[in-house]
Chain A
Amino acid sequence: MAKLLRTIVLLMLIAITGIAAAQAIDPLPFRDHAEELRFQHLTSELRCLVCQDENLADSNADFARDLRHKVFELMQQGKSDAQIKQYLVDRYSDFVLYDPPVNGRTWLLWFGPLLILITGGVVVASTIRKRSRSGASAASAPTENGDDW
């Protein structure tokens, strides 16, 4: 079963690359440079579902180009970045967002590092306290000859 699955994935990949004639380099008629920057930023934070290791801005896949054009079209309609992201999330799930939203499912992701930092910080602080107290008198400065820097 697993082997079959892999073969299938491989075949799908072949199917995809076979048609990947379209290019990430994709001049679009932006109104001004600010709009172009906004587009570049937005598409760089969206994940391509076909080439899943690439963002929409860089992906050569035909599908990525379709979505890029959709994003452009929505921008022309005056939609905000949040609305455009929501539009894609409604159809393709949170998977398209390289910037995962902060919610119940991702709190560990967003606040985990903070938890580790606090825990580690407490350990470091207590170590420094202990060591500076235990040897307040003994904490002699090293010799002043400059070699023991």
Chain B
Amino acid sequence: MSGNSEVSEKYLNLYRENIDKISSISAPYINSFRSSAFERFSKLGIPSKKDEAYKYTNLNIFFDHDYRSYFLPVASDFIKAEEFRCDVADLDAHGIVLLNGFYPTINDKLRQLPSGVWIGSINEAALRFPDLIEKHYGKYADSDTDGLVHLNTAMASDGVFVYVPKGVRFNKPVQIVNLVQSEEDMFNQHRNLIIVEKDAEFSIIICDHALSPKKFLTNAVTEVYVGESAHFDLVRVQNEHNAACKVTHTFIHQEKNSITSSINMTLHGGLIRNSTYHFLGGENAETNSCGLYLTDKWQHVDNFVNVDHAFPNCTSNQLFKGVLDDMSTGAFNGRILVRPDAQKTLAYQKNNNILLTDDAKMDTKPQLEIHADDVKCSHGATVGQLDGDALFYLQSRGIDKHEAKLMLMFGFAHEVIQNIKVEPLRERMDNLVMQRLRGELSRCASCVVKCG
């Protein structure tokens, strides 16, 4: 095992002790993946800093801890989840709430929206739409190096399923709210599958919240299939608390002529690791991968992005920006892979960081691996402070230094935020980021936890 053997052992035992319980409530097709995924997890283990992809992130802080594991949903828990209201004003979206990784038992486990779009529990979908599940489930989430992907496949039993049939242009976004709530420290895993068929259009917002001041560990996998000429947008808003650890793995598989965007807004959380894998699996596909992270106290945020150009004439853009305060730390690891014959590839990558204190630290690793010659690829990374010339320019217009700094930081962050297409959400993010930069309360108004 290349990972962290002692800590990994805990999770191996957790599987051995609970696999029967997990299997008993899951669909047979989902169960059919478990033992081989467990095998692979037992080979790879929990990643350690010796793993190149986790070089700058110490997962032990959260993984080496005794949690109550949430394997069976309890009906009474969902009452609180039902009361949860998103505080993004004017956000017109279809909402789904997951509690501790499970779809509420109270509602219909699968519901149909206008135009034939289905949203609901993936476990339920595995029973109702076996063809779709068999075609897509477990087909995109794979990693030769990251054991956590396999740990999820081995043990996750529920999550969100979304199906957008061919040609459906669904303008209203779907919002998934991931809540964690427990009176004990808790570990949970969930698994999402989003299918956007040919010529369809779809937009999803995933929000993470913690409802109780306990230590939480979440390991989530999301698989996305984007068919030919389809459009797909994903915005992830992470606004938990300092005792919450979130590890997400998102695999976006694109067919030809499709366009996707993925935006990770990390506003709050103890340890956050987002791995986003973009596979450009057909000609003329385009992907945009962005992230913004604002960290303070002891927080750590790590964004790992892998863009795989497997076909010619595809375009990818990566833009990740961070403002790091106090003794917080950040990591960025972005990779562009251009496979042989993926000619006429355009691939760009940018990671900019501002350190606000001497104790903040940033490690960045932008990488290019290029095996075709007729390509334009570039990357840039910076770590530094606010631009002195720009600061002076603002001051020379009569703006106070403090205010000028805030404006620059906001402008710095807004470059990422402006990519959010859903207007109320974009405004809300601008707002939250401004408040956060001003040092005012940044959590959502409905959050029950006093952060920090």
Q: Report whether chain A binds chain B.
A: no
